[in-house]
Amino acid sequence: MLTPMEIHNKEFKKVMRGFKEEEVDEFLDKVVTDFERLYRENGELKDKLSVINEKVDSYSLMEKTLQNTLIVAQTTAEEVVVNARKKSEVIIREAEEQAKRIVEEANNSVVGIHREYENLRKEVQVFKTRFRTLLESELETLNVNLKDL
């Protein structure tokens, strides 16, 4: 690519019946001025494009990082939910087992109390029978003794 300096330093051979040297020089000066301006603008635009590309790359990297962070957060949230469900299932199962044990112990206690009640009732019956027998025996003895008197 031509540089403004190459255009400015370009010299043409002189021939007969050629162009007016002043007009050619004047035109070349305009071309050099415009070319220098365009050359500078092109450089500035390349610099801006480079900065913009760097920002785009930075934003792309940031986007990937955010996506990865979201994925990790999502995975972590799912793991937390799964673990919470497992823990709740374990707690419920343990509570049900403990409730069964309590009910079983209560039933066993009721059966034991019922047995004890039946045993006491039988003992009371036996006591009543013995006491009645004793009283009847004593009454008979008293009646026999009173007849003798």
pLDDT in tens, 104-137: 999 999 999 999 999 999 999 999 999 999 999 9
pLDDT of residue 16: 74
Tens-digit pLDDT profile for residues 1-58: 677 788 777 777 777 777 777 888 888 888 888 888 998 999 999 999 999 999 999 9
| Residue 148: half-sphere exposure toward Cβ, Cα within 13 Å | 6
DSSP 87-149: HHHHHHHHHHHHHHHHHHHHHHHHHHHHHHHHHHHHHHHHHHHHHHHHHHHHHHHHHHHHHH-
* pTM (2 d.p.): 0.47
Asked if 77 and 41 count as a contact pair (C-beta separation under 8 A), the reply is no
Amino acid at 25: D
pLDDT of residue 14: 73
pLDDT of residue 27: 84
Asked if 27 and 8 count as a contact pair (C-beta separation under 8 A), the reply is no
